[in-house]
């Protein structure tokens, strides 16, 4: 099966071609111009998707050395995300499926992040606990099998990536904040300023980062901080201290969830999974508790169409096409489909 995937939920326009579950091409354009405004401007994002969708899809198809008539099915994100951005990708995918007379699948962006570790050759073994950490979401999920999920906890306010972006804005270092804080923190001293570890020691698997963000704000006020052209040592120390707090909370809860669910594998996905301190700390903690860690390469951590095509492939293997009448769902949550083992291998996955 040759699947074309399309991702346009926020500010990345991405298209990918998979041969069954193997990525042949994955082309992503990040709309960096939003940094000028300190965050994603929804109307500009959807206009940019409109401009980019045709060339990006063409490039993904060319890079995969296939032609349009080789494509067996098309998968696109239906939500969650920005409504205008979602509409561009979903409408394009529906039109293409009609034009080529091939099946179409609307994909949940959260499920795509959750299953992104399967794009790598070393795949997670079921059951595992996954931490999805992006600009819009922070959630811990017990993954029993494909389609069978139990959400253990989510954020009660800001997502982890959102907290990175907001703290970067306070520090005047730019957008998106995650990669910038990650870089500056390497030159900072995390011990110089110790921020609270919100909800780390409570029994729940909920997260809350807005109090931490306020602590950073008070700290900056206390020192009468004014952003400068070049980041000072003070800024680097705040970056290191803030990042250490987020990383300790995320990894601490992930390990606790793994112990509670008695799994041997943990996975991390979403843009914040690109964070170098998180990766390093998780490796060390996982080793302590004998856990295997699955984190996809950076290209598959941030928004990308390969993860969307993968979910599309899995759904098609279980005869789960979407009708063309589906609409975008900007507030879609992760949905468990329950045990569908009786349907497993229901379809010949070599379609066309
Ligand atoms: O998954 P993603 O590309 O888009 C969403 O679905 O939100 O995640 C984007 C988020 C942004 O908040 C960005 O600041 C954060 O991921 N991010 C990082 C890093 N790279 C991206 N956060 C921390 N460290 C990074 N290296
Ligand atoms: Zn995402």
Mind spelling out the 3-state secondary structure of the chain?
CEEEEEECCCCEEEEEEEECCEEEEEEEEECHHHHHHCCCCHHHHHHHHHHHHHHHHHHHHHHCCCCHHHCCEEEEEEECCCHHHHHHHHHHHHHHHHHHCCCEEEEEHHHHHHHHHHHCCCCCCCCEEEEEECCCCEEEEEEEECCEEEEEEEECCCCHHHHHHHHHHHHCCCCCHHHHHHHHHCCCCCCCCCCCCCCCCCCCCCECCHHHHHHHHHHHHHCCCCCCCCCCHHHHHHHHHHHHHHHHHHHHHHHHHHHHHCCCEEEEECHHHHCHHHHHHHHHHHHHCCCEEECCCHHHHCCCHHHHHHHHHHHHHCCCCCCCCCCCCCCCCCCCCCCCHHHCCCCCCCCC
Ligand 1 center from residue 35 Cα (angstroms): 14
Q: Is the CB of 164 under 6 A from ligand 1?
A: yes
Ligand 1 nearest atom to the CA of residue 9, by list position: 6
pLDDT by residue (tens digit) across 88-130? 999 999 999 999 999 999 999 999 999 999 999 999 999 999 9
- Residues 89, 326: Cα–Cα separation, whole Å: 13
Residue 97: other Cβ atoms inside 10 A: 22
- The distance between the two most distant Cα atoms of the chain, rounded to a whole number of Å, is 65
Query: Distance (Å, rounded) from C-alpha 30 to C-alpha 12?
Result: 5
State in Å: Cα 351 to ligand 2 middle: 29
Token pair belonging to 16 = 């990918």
How many whole angstroms separate alpha carbon 77 and alpha carbon 330? 10
pLDDT band at 340 (very low <50, low <70, confident <90, very high): low
Residue 348 has pLDDT above 70, yes or no: no
Ligand 1 atom closest to residue 243's alpha carbon, by position in its atom list: 23
Atom of ligand 1 nearest to the CA of 136: 7
- Give the tens place of pLDDT for each residue, 194-222: 998 888 778 889 999 999 999 999 999 99
- Is 346 a residue whose pLDDT tops 50? no
150 C-alpha to center of ligand 1: Å? 23
Identify the nearest ligand to the CA of 301 by its number: 1
Q: Nearest-5° angle of CA 237, CA 240, CA 246?
A: 140
If one residue of 28, 135, 306 were mutated to test the ligand 1 pocket, choosing by the most ligand atoms within 8 A of its CB, it would be 135
Residue 272 · residue 134 · CB < 8 Å: yes
| 231 pLDDT above the threshold of 60 | yes
What number is the average pLDDT over the span 43-51?
A: 95
Residue whose tokens read 């570890």? 197
Task: Indicate if the pLDDT at residue 349 is higher than 70.
Answer: no
Which pLDDT tens digit goes with each residue over 302-312?
999 999 999 99
Q: How far is the CA of 80 from the centre of ligand 2 (A)?
A: 9
Asked whether 188 lines ligand 1 (CB < 6 A), one says no
The Å distance, Cα 301 to ligand 1 centre, comes to: 8
Band (341; pLDDT cuts 50, 70, 90): low
Q: Which residue has the tokens 């109090």?
A: 211
* Ligand 1 contact via 231 beta carbon (within 6 Å): no
* Whether residue 329 has pLDDT greater than 90: yes
Position 339 scores a pLDDT of 67
CB 93 within 8 A of CB 77: no
Which ligand lies nearest to the CA atom of residue 183 in the structure?
Answer: 1
Distance (angstroms) between ligand 2 centre and the Cα of 329 equals 14
C-beta separation of 138 from 249 below 8 A: no
Ligand nearest to the CA of 12: 1
Residue 116's nearest CA partner among 342, 312, 310 is 310
Of 38, 42, 112, 134, the residue with max ligand 1 atoms within 8 A of its CB, to mutate for a pocket test, comes to 134
Q: Could you tell me the distance, in angstroms and rounded to a whole number, from the CA of residue 115 to the centre of ligand 1?
A: 17
Ligand number nearest CA of 112 is 2
Q: Whole-angstrom Cα distance, residue 7 to residue 119?
A: 16
């Amino acid at each position: 099966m040759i699947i074309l995937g399309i991702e346009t939920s926020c500010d990345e326009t991405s298209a990918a071609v998979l041969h069954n579950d193997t990525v042949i091409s994955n082309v992503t354009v990040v709309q960096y111009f939003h940094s000028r405004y300190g965050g994603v401007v929804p109307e500009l994002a959807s206009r940019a998707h409109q401009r980019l969708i045709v060339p990006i899809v063409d490039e993904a198809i060319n890079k995969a050395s296939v032609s349009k008539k080789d494509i067996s099915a098309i998968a696109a994100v239906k939500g969650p995300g920005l409504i205008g951005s979602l509409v561009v990708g979903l409408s394009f995918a529906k039109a293409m499926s009609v034009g080529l007379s091939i099946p179409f699948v609307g994909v949940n962006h959260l499920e795509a992040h959750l299953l992104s570790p399967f794009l790598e050759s070393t795949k997670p073994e079921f059951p595992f606990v996954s931490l999805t950490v992006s600009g819009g979401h922070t959630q811990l999920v017990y993954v029993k099998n494909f389609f069978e999920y139990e959400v253990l906890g989510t954020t009660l306010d800001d997502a982890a990536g959102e907290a990175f972006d907001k703290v970067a804005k306070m520090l005047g270092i730019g957008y998106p904040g995650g990669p910038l804080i990650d870089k500056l923190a390497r030159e900072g001293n995390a011990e110089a300023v110790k921020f609270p570890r919100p909800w780390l020691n409570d029994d729940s698997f909920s997260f809350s980062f807005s109090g931490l963000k306020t602590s950073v704000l008070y700290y900056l006020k206390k020192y009468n901080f004014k952003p400068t052209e070049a980041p000072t040592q003070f800024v680097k120390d705040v970056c290191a201290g803030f990042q250490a707090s987020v990383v300790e909370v995320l990894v601490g809860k992930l390990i606790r969830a793994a112990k509670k669910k008695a799994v041997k594998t943990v996975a991390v996905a979403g843009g914040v999974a690109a964070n170098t301190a998180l990766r390093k700390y998780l490796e060390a903690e996982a080793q302590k508790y004998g856990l295997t860690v699955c984190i996809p390469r950076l290209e598959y951590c941030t928004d990308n169409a390969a993860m969307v095509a993968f979910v599309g492939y899995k759904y098609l293997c279980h005869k789960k096409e979407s009708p063309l009448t589906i609409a975008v769902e900007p507030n879609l949550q992760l949905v468990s489909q329950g045990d569908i083992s009786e349907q497993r291998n229901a379809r010949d996955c070599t379609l066309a």
